[in-house]
């Protein structure tokens, strides 16, 4: 954990830069002239000490930014834009502005988030490190997390919304098993700037493994994992390698609809008849899943309820109602279409 978040003061910076705390304030707020040499020393001290302004003190003075940050894994995801749409009316009516930002696992990213005086941070990222989330919680900024993985190391006051992904993933795999599928493939998301592969405690990944292993499915015999593909070409190559190894894919669970669809059309190109030869299920109920041939079965995440839950938790946290339960659990729905 970055211990400088709460402990470095303007006095510390002033001592390091050999100036007065008032000069430090002028440089931070950029509201008074400061000699260039002194300004340089202050800026260097700020950087060296990892100083962050006290956002809570600023808020107590009535200086809210009315700006909320939403950190996600993939800015191009339809899933997150649809959640944003659920939040848009509330934000407009309450004079808030919500910005969507792709997660980056670095101390500098967390520092920038803190220094920009957001009134709250929403996190929907399967790969954003828990230590970075804890750093944000420690600053006392209201934080609401969409639980895409197990967060067992976090402490303090924060909102947590379990969207039902673990049980939903198990249901998807159980459905494939009930369809007598014996050679099942888990296809992970494409690797992006912030997303490499699902961690072991990722709910979709863990739900997949737990359901198959409970049914005595063995790795490499009954199931395989495809991850770290940067794009469609690399996914296509990975599927070729698997098929060439003698593993005849007859079931697919895609971490998203997008990768499930790419996999489906790759298998069709290889001569597969869907769903006779292979059943496929994705996640997110993206619009395109209804227009594929055949239509893709998918796990629907209740975005309307997610939006309502975020608003409820923010209201509690903004009004210091932290004695209430800040955990909310939702359910997913499996939409069965022709790909099964």
Measured in Å, how far apart are the chain's first and last C-alpha atoms?
46
Q: What is the structure's pLDDT at 323?
A: 57
Tens-place pLDDT, residues 56-100: 455 444 567 789 999 998 888 888 888 988 898 888 888 899 998
pLDDT grade, residue 206 (50/70/90)?
very high
Alpha-carbon distance 168 to 148, whole Å?
12
**pLDDT-derived band at 5, boundaries 50, 70, 90:** very low
The mean predicted confidence, pLDDT, of the chain is 87
Residue 258 exposure: Cα atoms within 13 Å on the Cβ side: 13
pLDDT tens column, 53-66: 655 455 444 567 78
Q: How confident is the model at residue 167 (pLDDT cuts 50, 70, 90)?
A: very high
**For residue 249, what are the CA distances in angstroms to 196, 264, 273, 296?**
24, 11, 12, 17
Q: What is the pLDDT of residue 4?
A: 35
Distance from CA of residue 177 to its chain's centroid? 29
Place 192 in a pLDDT band, splitting at 50, 70 and 90: low
Q: What pLDDT is stored for residue 259 in this prediction?
A: 96
Domains in the chain with CATH codes: 4-51 (1.10.260.40), 60-162+303-330 (3.40.50.2300), 166-301 (3.40.50.2300)
Say which DSSP state 219 is in.
Answer: B
Burial 159-194 (b: 16+ CB within 10 A, else e): bbbbbbbbebbbbbbbbbbeeebebbbbbbbbeeeb
Mean pLDDT of 15-36: 85
Q: In which band, very low, low, confident or very high, does the pLDDT at 3 lie, cut at 50, 70 and 90?
A: very low
Q: For 37-57, write each residue's pLDDT tens digit.
A: 999 999 898 888 877 665 545
Q: What is the pLDDT of residue 63?
A: 60
pLDDT score of 222 more than 70? yes
Mean of pLDDT values over 259-263: 97
Q: Encode pLDDT of 106-152 as tens digits.
A: 777 887 787 777 889 999 988 888 888 998 888 888 999 999 998 88
Q: Which residue has the tokens 């402990």?
A: 7
| pTM, two decimal places | 0.79
pLDDT at 239: 97
Using alpha carbons only, what angle is made at residue 139 by residues 136 and 141, rounded to the nearest 5 degrees?
Answer: 75
> Residue 21: CB partners within 8 Å, gap ≥ 6?
10, 11, 13, 14
pLDDT digits (tens, 9 = 90+) for 277-336: 999 999 999 999 999 999 999 999 999 999 999 999 998 888 877 655 689 999 999 999
**Phi, psi values for residue 189, rounded to 5°:** -65, 155
Q: Which residue has the higher pLDDT, 22 or 222?
A: 222
Residue 168 CA to its chain's centroid (Å): 17
Give pLDDT, residue 1.
Answer: 35
Q: How far apart are CA 155 and CA 147, in angstroms?
A: 15
Q: Where are the beta strands (DSSP E) in 166-304?
A: 184-187, 223-226, 251-254, 279-283, 297-301
Angle between helical axes of 36-49 and 21-29 (0-180°, round to 10): 90
Percent of the chain with pLDDT strictly greater than 90: 54
Taking the CA atoms of 321, 322, 325 and 329 in sequence, report the sign of the dihedral they define. Answer: positive
């Amino acid at each position: 954990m970055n211990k400088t978040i709460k402990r470095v003061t303007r006095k510390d910076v002033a001592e390091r830069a050999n100036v007065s705390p008032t000069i430090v304030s002028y440089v931070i707020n950029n509201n008074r002239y400061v000699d260039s040499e002194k300004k340089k020393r202050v800026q260097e001290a700020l950087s060296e000490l990892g100083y962050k302004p006290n956002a809570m003190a600023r808020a107590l003075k009535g200086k809210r930014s009315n700006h909320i940050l939403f950190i996600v894994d993939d800015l191009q995801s339809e899933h997150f834009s649809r959640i944003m749409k659920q939040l848009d009316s509330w934000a407009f009516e309450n004079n808030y502005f919500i910005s969507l930002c792709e997660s980056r696992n670095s101390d500098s990213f967390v520092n920038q988030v803190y220094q920009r005086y957001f009134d709250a941070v929403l996190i929907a990222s399967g790969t954003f490190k828990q230590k970075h989330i804890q750093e944000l919680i420690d600053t006392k900024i209201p934080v609401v997390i969409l639980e895409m993985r197990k967060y067992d190391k976090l402490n303090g006051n924060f909102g947590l919304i379990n969207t039902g992904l673990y049980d939903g993933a198990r249901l998807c795999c159980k459905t494939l098993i009930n369809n007598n599928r014996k050679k099942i493939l888990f296809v992970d998301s494409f690797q992006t700037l912030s997303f490499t592969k699902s961690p072991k405690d990722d709910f979709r990944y863990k739900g997949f493994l737990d359901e198959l292993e409970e049914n005595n499915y063995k790795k490499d015999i009954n199931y395989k994992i495809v991850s770290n593909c940067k794009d469609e070409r690399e996914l296509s190559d990975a599927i070729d390698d698997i098929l060439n190894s003698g593993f005849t894919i007859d079931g697919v669970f895609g971490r998203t609809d997008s990768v499930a669809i790419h996999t489906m059309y790759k298998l069709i190109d290889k001569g597969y008849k869907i769903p006779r030869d292979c059943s496929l299920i994705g996640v997110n109920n993206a619009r395109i899943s209804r227009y594929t041939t055949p239509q893709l079965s998918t796990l629907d995440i209740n975005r309307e309820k997610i939006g309502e839950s975020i608003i409820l938790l923010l209201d509690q946290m903004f009004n210091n109602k932290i004695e209430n339960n800040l955990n909310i659990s939702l359910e997913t729905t499996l939409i069965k279409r022709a790909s099964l």
